Amino acid sequence: MIDYEAQRVKMVDNQVRTVDVTSHSVLSAFLTVPRENFVPDSAKALAYVDTAIELKIGGSTGRYLQDASPIAKLLQLAAISKEDKVLEIGAGTGYISTLLSLLAGSVVALESDAALAEAAKANLAGSANVKVVSGDLEKGAAADGPFDLIFIDGAVETVPDSLFGQLKDGGRLVAVVGYGNASRAHLFVKERGVVSAAPEFNTAVKPLPGFRKAVEFQF
């Protein structure tokens, strides 16, 4: 019998605290949410291992529950408050959505994969401040915006302007830009309609499908 609660405490102590995550609210969220509930049955024993877990649900491929340490650092970077309305891009099975529900005022969890969206809805049934919506990840959820924070769950090559357009003035967008060892966490801030970007730290997470730069024609 696996003691998931003990594993959860070890995850926070050995994977999250060790990467300079000191936010009490973030640490509390990671200690509270049962990560094992958000992975396929075949992967439950690996739920707290320091690695990304592929979400093979209903034929879904290429989507992952990211390992805890980069998620925690990104959530800390986002500096989320209970007044924030958050859009999560790429909800998967709803793990980060649940973490966000404990940190923010309300969460819109956007998912493009039908099987994952259904799993997220089931997993988030008890989270009254989360709304799961289906749609193209790159287009966001303009009908539910604007947002104080947009959180992209996975590495991207570029952030489309359509997402920046869904930020409130003073809003933030947190994303990992680039792939593999070249990727860096970025904090984008929108002030008076202008978006500025600041690379914050090196990190590596699994890519989110799409979000590629347009191919430029060269002579």
Give residue for tokens 């707290």: 48
Strands (E), 23-146: 53-54, 64-65, 85-89, 106-111, 130-134
The Cα 42–Cα 62 span in angstroms is 17
**CB neighbours of residue 27 within 10 Å:** 17
The two three-digit tokens of residue 18, written as one number: 């060790």
Q: Where are the chain's structural domains?
A: 4-202
Residue type, 81: S
The Cα 188–Cα 46 span in angstroms is 33
Structure confidence by residue, pLDDT tens digits, 152-204: 999 999 999 999 999 999 999 999 999 988 899 999 999 999 999 999 999 99
The Cα 109–Cα 132 span in angstroms is 5
Confidence band, pLDDT 50/70/90 cuts, at residue 101: very high
4-202 topology per CATH = Rossmann fold (3.40.50)
Residue 181's pLDDT is: 80
Residue 219's pLDDT is: 56
Chain centroid to CA 62? 15
